[in-house]
Structure 1
Amino acid sequence: MTTSTSTNALSTVELNPNYKIPLVLVLIGALLLIVQPLLAGIIALFGVFLMFQAVTLRLRFTATDLDIYRGEKLIRRFPYSEWQHWEIFWPQIPILFYFKETKSIHFLPIIFDPKTLKTCLEQHYPRNQNLG
């Protein structure tokens, strides 16, 4: 469930966590345990790390920014005015969200609701702006 609150013309939307990628990685790690224990441990540990991130981080789309929170503490703000492009890789099975700002690029695993993520991206930075 997303949370919405009124702000200016658009509302603030907080994305729900999505545990699919972390769970798949932990499962792959468990399946590889007998065949390749070191690789299994690395993959499972990465899955646990992503699970922790999914539990603790929140993405909030506001009228002007994409904000990342840990609990109630704002840890990073990305104003849409500085965005140049965004992309969701492998839309059929979304696993990676990429966006480029004027000074940097960012890659985030999709540990949030991918449908709401795409809807919010299209609402706040429409495809006609998303050309380069």
Structure 2
Amino acid sequence: MFTKETGVLTVTTSYTSNPASTTVELKSSYNIPLVLVVAAIPMLIVQPWVAGLMGLFGLFLMFQAVTLRLLFTPTDLDIYRGEKLIRRFPYREWQNWRIFWNRVPILFYFKEVKSIHFLPILFDPNTLKTCLEQRCPRI
């Protein structure tokens, strides 16, 4: 609103500056699966069985990274496979969380009222940490 007397233009907006009020989908990260698959190749010479298991586990994690989607909503962490919701974790039930090995994040832990979860980091670790800090600060 502009007034002639004061010469001041007042602008109002409904923009919300709270990033926790939006839904964020994490981008997949293939770092862990690729490292496992590549490390399995030279391991074939030393321990073929170990190399086979490591390679299969790497391929399994690659499949998970391709097919799963993590969405941080304002109230829950949702896990989707394609368009199907697999699991919902309401933040109000979280007691604690932690990302192991900050330099090379490979494991994400969180504790709910009823259970504990350990997940390999198959998504962008920086966005994961930012979303966690915004939506459920550590106790």
Q: Give the TM-score normalised by the residue count of structure 1.
A: 0.89
Is 1:98 the counterpart of 2:109? The answer is yes
Q: Secondary structure at the match of 2:46?
A: coil
| Separation in 2, partners of 1:42, 1:32 | 11
| Separation in 2, partners of 1:31, 1:71 | 34
Structure with larger Rg: 2
**Whose strand proportion is higher, 1 or 2?**
1
Instruction: Give the root-mean-square deviation of aligned CA atoms.
Output: 1.2
Is 1:59 the counterpart of 2:59? The answer is no
Q: Give the TM-score normalised by the residue count of structure 2.
A: 0.85
Unaligned runs of 5+ in 2: 1-19
Deviation, 1:14, is 0.4
| Separation in 2, partners of 1:28, 1:116 | 27
Amino acid in the other structure paired with 1:102: V
Match for residue 122 of structure 1 among 101, 108, 133: 133
Flag as ranges the 4+ runs of structure 1 deviating above 2 A.
none
Identity of aligned residues (%): 73
Map 1:31-42 → 2, pairs under 5 A: 31-42=42-53
Is 1:79 the counterpart of 2:100? The answer is no
Unaligned runs of 5+ in 1: 1-8
